[in-house]
Amino acid sequence: MGFQMQGSGEWLYWLCLVIVIALVVAGTWAIYSLGGLPGRIARSRGHPQAAAISVCGWLGLITFVLWPVALVWAYTSPRGGQAAATSEDLDALLADLRRTSERVAAIEAGLGSTSPRRIA
């Protein structure tokens, strides 16, 4: 003779089913949140490579190695490189180059009358 539940057996099965479904939903939400976390951090910090960080975060859920890399990458700020030269900067460089070329041509013209000496 086995133990029989009296009156609470039917609703207890339904309660367990609800708990299992809630755990599955919570686990899915946690995975979704963790996968997008590096990308959200990078976008909020204005990182120029936020899209790549987001992809790295999602792939990190599969490989387990890329996720910490994406998280660290989201917090690093890229090194400030030189800004692209403006047209005014290029015009100034072109004018300097022309002046220098003219000076070199004048020096060469002044030296052109003398023949080079051979050193023995």
Q: What is the mean pLDDT of residues 6-11?
A: 71
List, as one string, the DSSP characters of 47-107: -TTHHHHHHHHHHHHHHSSHHHHHHHHHHSPPP--PPPPPHHHHHHHHHHHHHHHHHHHHH
**pLDDT 10s digits, 82-114:** 677 788 889 999 999 999 999 999 888 888 766
pLDDT of residue 10: 79
Helix, strand, or coil (residue 113): coil
Confidence of residue 12 (pLDDT cuts 50, 70, 90): confident
Q: Is the pLDDT of residue 9 over 90?
A: no
- The mean per-residue pLDDT over the stretch 19-26 comes to 98
Triad 18, 19, 21: Cα angle to 5°: 65
Domain count, the chain: 1
What does the CA dihedral 65, 67, 70, 76 come to, rounded to 10 degrees? -90
Residue 61: domain span: 38-76
**Confidence check: pLDDT of 2 > 60:** yes
* Confidence grade of residue 11 (pLDDT, cut at 50, 70, 90): confident
Assess whether pLDDT exceeds 90 at residue 75. yes
